[in-house]
Structure 1
Amino acid sequence: MKLLVVSDSHGWNTVLTDLKRRYANKVDAMIHCGDSELSADNPAIEGYTIVRGNCDMEDQFPNDVLESIEDARVFVTHGHRYDVKMTLLNLSYKAKENSADFVFFGHTHTAGVEQQDGIIYLNPGSISLPKGRREKTYVIVEVDKKKADIRFYDEKHHEIEEMHTKFSR
């Protein structure tokens, strides 16, 4: 399984179109973790699984999405409803409640990934307004039965090698 994960584009539709053009036939799913600030009918988000962020006015976006992609359960949310700026505890309760293998979220604009209790929590950072790093980021997640390979990229599609992380499954 190969996934593209992006968040917090805040109206920057050209970057979403660029990502879609680059990865549409190379990934199994394209996921946007909210704060696109685009309408549901905007062509830039067509093909993305998308959730509603705190800056999204579009009520057609769900708050959370739980998807089974190949052999993995993926929980997607923006994060503001789980207080992710303070703690991952509330999000971890929801992940466990949904038997999630992966949790993708945004809101903090801070790129990072960690594994707790066998669940991988991934924040791709912000593709438009990053915090904690200067790079505007998105992530490619590659998963097989034994490992998850997480690679962060900047908006110019250069890998940020020091953020590359692998987890056993």
Structure 2
Amino acid sequence: MRLLVVSDSHGDQDILIELIKIYQGKVDEMIHCGDSELAETDSVWKDMKSVKGNMDFDQSYPLLQTKEIGQEKIIWLHGHLHDVKKSMQTLLFTAKEAQANFAFFGHTHELGVEMMDGILVLNPGSILLPRGAHKIKTYAIVETTKDTIQVSYYDRLHRPIEELECSFARV
């Protein structure tokens, strides 16, 4: 399985179109974790699946999306209703309740990834307004094999950020 995960594009439709052109047919799913600030009817959503963020005023967006690909179950949400700026506990509870093994979120504009109770919890960072220790505009590619989960972050020019690459062994 190979996934593209992006978040917090805040009105920048051009970068989403660019990502679609580059990754269409090369990933199993293109995921947006909210705060696109685009209409839910925008043409980018034909190829990319999004959720409602706190800055998305179009009420048509779902608050949570799920996807099953083979044996993998993925959830994604924005995170503002799960208080992700303070703790991952509500997000982790939601992922466990959904029996997901991947949980993706945005909202904080800070990239990060960790394995929590067997669930890969990932924030791709913001593709427009990054915050935190890594002030780089980023998105993530998540790839799985039978034995590993590989996470790679890319900058806005689609260059890999090697120091942020990480791999998790399957349990």
Shorter-chain TM range is over 0.9
1:8 paired to 2:8:
yes
Structure 2: segments with no counterpart, 5+ residues? none
CA RMSD of aligned residues (A): 0.8
Distance 1:58 1:70 in 2: 32
Find the aligned partners of 1:121 and 1:4 in 2 and give their Cα distance.
14
How far the C-alpha of 1:168 sits from its partner, in A, is 1.2
Q: Partner of 1:153 in structure 2?
A: 154
State the 1:121 CA deviation.
0.2
Could you tell me how far apart the structure 1 residues matched to 2:41 and 2:94 are?
29
- 1:42 is displaced (CA, Å) by 1.3
Q: Kindly, what percent of the aligned residue pairs are identical?
A: 47
Tell me if 1:143 matches 2:144.
Answer: yes
Report whether the alignment pairs 1:20 with 2:20: yes
CA distance in 1, matches of 2:68, 2:44: 24
How far apart, CA to CA, are the structure 2 residues paired with 1:95 and 1:40?
Answer: 24
Q: What letter is aligned with 1:17?
A: I
TM-score scaled by length of structure 1: 0.97
- Tell me by how many angstroms 1:67 deviates: 1.3
- Aligned position for 1:75: 75
2:40 maps to what in 1? 40
Q: What is the CA–CA distance in structure 1 between the aligned matches of 2:14 and 2:45, rounded to whole Å?
A: 10
Distance 1:45 1:18 in 2: 13
Instruction: Give the total of aligned pairs.
Output: 169
The answer as to whether partners of 1:77 and 1:106 remain within 8 angstroms in 2 is yes
Q: Distance in 2 between matches of 1:104 and 1:27?
A: 16
Cα distance per residue 1:118-148 (max 9 Å; x no partner): 1000000000000022210000110122111
C-alpha contact 1:16 1:45 (8 A) present in aligned 2: no
Gaps of 5+ in 1: none
Q: Is the 8 A contact 1:14 1:44 kept in 2?
A: no
